[in-house]
């Protein structure tokens, strides 16, 4: 039985990861066991009180219903909106125990790939990682802007270990190109942060060059393909992490393997639906990835909510709504506050322990970290293992990978992808 567990984000800097060199001199991550013991506390009293760190009380056991639905049952939908409203109204209070900026350990020699870091949460995540000494790979589509940012950060006088690589998540060929270029270096990746995302509020339905609805392509499919193709480098950096910047909005998402493109007419497209469904698809896919990755691979998969954050994500709002969005600062976090859960999920040693615990307990969902850097329970719908498996299979098909791609990649075998330009 899974017991209530509480991750503790720090008011003061916890001890850094121990970055040690192994015999082959590749960088290794080893959490301090004593620190884990003191900070990662099982807390049955919380469970009895039904507090949010209580997984037994909050979670629905793995659901495996054969019923085909057209959307969320109304009670789950209402609960989803309740979670969104609660996050909006109380996120600042709930995260009041966190320092801002979140203190980071020295990260010299640790390689982070962060997608979409020319704006908003990704930009601030990247800046703080770079300032902490990390080897940062900015995976962006606007490389000129990324170079400009580096020049600006360097003006602060700190020597940085940052590089820029081009990726456009709207093109799966571009994702394959990026992964191939990185893997060819035979260097490790310690943390991949799938941060880039779009929410084209109020916009009509659009499709990528690959024929997929743009939210599902950028927010889920491209990130999934990138994560899988980088498995060899993540194994090289093991213990390593795949961190997915998800959203509380997944709580009102509903996704079916045959309806991911929202073209069947069964579920009519709205940008809100496109966004929420893509975030739920990401949790479902990540949960199966989390379950199927053998423990020996040493790759941990985490999804997180950054909170509701003032960024360019609202760029498609009408100008009056945009003004409103920028003028409610009390409720909305700034990017420095909004990147804390990404930094926590990407760097805190407790994540490894927590991930191992959930794996041992055969929990149906991957670790999900809330904006206040605590473990949270993803939506009931994300616990439906049957649909998660179907989303996994369909995702592999849509990104042009064979059904056994993960097993082959973990075994060090070559895997061909339909979007590899050489294979065309
Ligand atoms: N802000 C919030 O309240 C909130 C809440 C929950 C979750 N999130 C999630 O947080 C993540 C970051 O969003 P944000 O709020 O920081 O938004 P943002 O300011 O709009 O930043 C999004 C980043 O993603 C990049 N991006 C978009 N499409 C891309 C593509 N096709 N290829 C490569 N990069 C692409 C953007 O690059 P360009 O600059 O080139 O466009 C930008 O750097 C997203 O996954 C979002 O869903 C945000």
DSSP for 139-163, please give it: EES-HHHHHHHHHHHHTTT---EEE
Predicted pLDDT at 25: 30
Q: Which residues of 183-208 are buried (b: 16+ CB within 10 A; e: fewer)?
A: beeeebbbbbbbbbbbbbbeeebeeb
Predicted pLDDT at 53: 39
Q: What is the largest CA-CA distance in the chain?
A: 60
Ligand 1 binding pocket includes 274 (Cβ within 6 Å): no
User: How far is Cα 56 from Cα 139, in angstroms, rounded to an integer?
Assistant: 38
Asked if 111 and 135 count as a contact pair (C-beta separation under 8 A), the reply is yes
Alpha helix segments (H runs only) across 293-375:
319-326, 335-338, 340-347, 350-360
Average pLDDT over residues 229-244: 98
Dist. CA 119 → ligand 1 center (Å): 7
**The token pair that represents 358 in the structure block:** 């959930």
Per the residue annotation, which of 212, 275, 354, 419 is the catalytic one? 275
Q: Which of 125, 196, 328 to probe ligand 1 with, by most ligand atoms within 8 A of CB? A: 196
Predicted pLDDT at 299: 98
Ligand 1 binding pocket includes 332 (Cβ within 6 Å): no
Select the more confidently predicted residue: 44 or 101: 101
Predicted pLDDT at 68: 55
Beta bridge partners of 241: 191, 300
Alpha helix segments (H runs only) across 190-245:
214-215, 222-229, 231-236
Dist. CA 62 → ligand 1 center (Å): 31
User: How far is Cα 328 from Cα 332, in angstroms, rounded to an integer?
Assistant: 6
Dist. CA 17 → ligand 1 center (Å): 28
Predicted pLDDT at 330: 77
All residues at 6 or more sequence positions from 121 whose CB lies less than 8 Å from its CB, including other chains: 195, 245, 306, 309, 311, 335, 338, 339, 342
Asked if 388 and 21 count as a contact pair (C-beta separation under 8 A), the reply is no
User: How far is Cα 306 from Cα 247, in angstroms, rounded to an integer?
Assistant: 7
**The token pair that represents 225 in the structure block:** 């393909």
Dist. CA 27 → ligand 1 center (Å): 30
User: How far is Cα 286 from Cα 28, in angstroms, rounded to an integer?
Assistant: 24
Q: Which of 80, 88, 115, 116 to probe ligand 1 with, by most ligand atoms within 8 A of CB? A: 116
| Highest mean pLDDT out of 63-77, 115-129, 151-165, 256-270 | 115-129
Sign of CA dihedral 146, 148, 150, 156: negative
Mind listing the pLDDT tens digit for each residue in 321-356? 667 666 677 789 999 999 999 999 999 999 999 999
Predicted pLDDT at 70: 73
User: How far is Cα 108 from Cα 134, in angstroms, rounded to an integer?
Assistant: 5
Helix axes 172-184, 222-229, angle to 10 degrees: 20
Residue ranges of the domains in the chain? 83-402
Asked if 387 and 22 count as a contact pair (C-beta separation under 8 A), the reply is no
Alpha helix segments (H runs only) across 295-348:
319-326, 335-338, 340-347
Of the CATH numbers 3.50.50.60, 3.40.50.720, 1.10.10.10, 3.90.70.10, which one belongs to the domain with range 83-402? 3.40.50.720
**The token pair that represents 71 in the structure block:** 């959307």
Q: Is the pLDDT of residue 243 over 90?
A: yes
SS3 32: coil
Active site residue 275: yes
Asked if 31 and 17 count as a contact pair (C-beta separation under 8 A), the reply is yes
Predicted pLDDT at 48: 30
DSSP for 236-264, please give it: HT-SEEEEEE--GGGGG----GGGTTS-S
User: How far is Cα 219 from Cα 199, in angstroms, rounded to an integer?
Assistant: 9
**Average pLDDT, rounded, for the chain:** 85
Start-to-end CA distance of the chain, whole Å, equals 49
Select the more confidently predicted residue: 174 or 48: 174
For residue 147, with 0-12 CB atoms within 10 Å meaning exposed, 13-18 middle and 19 or more buried, which class applies? middle
All residues at 6 or more sequence positions from 332 whose CB lies less than 8 Å from its CB, including other chains: 308, 309, 310, 325
User: How far is Cα 185 from Cα 124, in angstroms, rounded to an integer?
Assistant: 27
Ligand 1 binding pocket includes 138 (Cβ within 6 Å): no
Select the more confidently predicted residue: 313 or 176: 176
Ligand 1 binding pocket includes 303 (Cβ within 6 Å): no
Mind listing the pLDDT tens digit for each residue in 70-124? 789 999 999 999 999 999 999 999 999 999 999 999 999 999 999 999 999 999 9
Dist. CA 218 → ligand 1 center (Å): 9
- Vertex 235, ends 172 and 179: CA angle to 5°? 20
């Amino acid at each position: 039985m899974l017991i209530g567990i509480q991750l503790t984000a720090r008011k003061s800097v916890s001890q850094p990861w121990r970055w040690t060199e192994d015999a082959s001199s590749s960088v290794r991550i080893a959490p301090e066991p004593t620190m884990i013991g003191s900070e990662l506390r099982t807390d049955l009293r919380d469970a009895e009180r039904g507090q949010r760190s209580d997984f037994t009380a909050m979670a629905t056991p793995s659901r495996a219903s054969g019923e085909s639905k057209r959307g969320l049952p109304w009670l789950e939908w209402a609960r989803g909106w309740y979670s969104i409203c609660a996050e909006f109204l109380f996120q600042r209070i709930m995260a009041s125990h966190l320092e801002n900026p979140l203190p980071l350990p020295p990260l010299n020699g640790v390689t982070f790939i962060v997608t979409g870091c020319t704006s908003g949460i990704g930009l601030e995540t990247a800046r703080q990682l770079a300032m902490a000494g990390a080897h940062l790979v900015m995976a962006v589509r606007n490389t000129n802007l990324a170079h400009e940012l580096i020049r600006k950060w360097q003006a602060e006088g700190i020597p940085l270990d940052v590089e820029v690589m081009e990726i456009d998540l709207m093109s799966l060929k571009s994702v394959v190109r990026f992964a191939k270029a990185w893997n060819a270096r035979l260097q490790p990746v310690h943390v991949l942060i799938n941060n880039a995302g779009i929410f084209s509020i109020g916009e009509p339905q659009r499709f990528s060059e690959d024929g997929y609805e743009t939210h599902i392509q950028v927010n889920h499919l491209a990130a999934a393909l990138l994560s899988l193709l980088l498995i060899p480098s993540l194994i090289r950096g093991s213990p390593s992490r795949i961190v997915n910047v998800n959203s509380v909005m997944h709580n009102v998402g509903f996704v079916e393997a045959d309806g991911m493109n929202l073209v069947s007419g069964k579920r009519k497209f709205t940008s809100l639906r496109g966004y929420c469904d893509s975030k739920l698809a990401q949790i479902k896919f990540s949960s199966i990835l989390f379950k199927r990755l053998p423990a020996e691979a040493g790759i941990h998969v985490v999804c997180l909510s950054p909170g509701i954050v003032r960024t360019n994500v609202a760029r498609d709002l009408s100008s009056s709504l945009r003004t409103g969005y920028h003028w409610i600062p009390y409720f909305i976090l700034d990017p420095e506050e909004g990147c804390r859960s990404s930094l926590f999920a990407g760097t805190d040693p407790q994540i490894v322990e927590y991930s191992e615990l959930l794996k041992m307990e055969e929990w149906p969902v991957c670790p999900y970290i809330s904006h206040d850097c605590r473990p949270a329970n993803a939506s009931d719908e994300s616990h439906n293992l049957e649909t998660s498996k179907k989303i996994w299979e369909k995702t592999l098909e849509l990104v042009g990978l064979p059904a056994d791609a993960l097993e082959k990649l973990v075994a060090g075998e070559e895997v061909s992808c339909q979007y590899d330009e050489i294979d065309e």
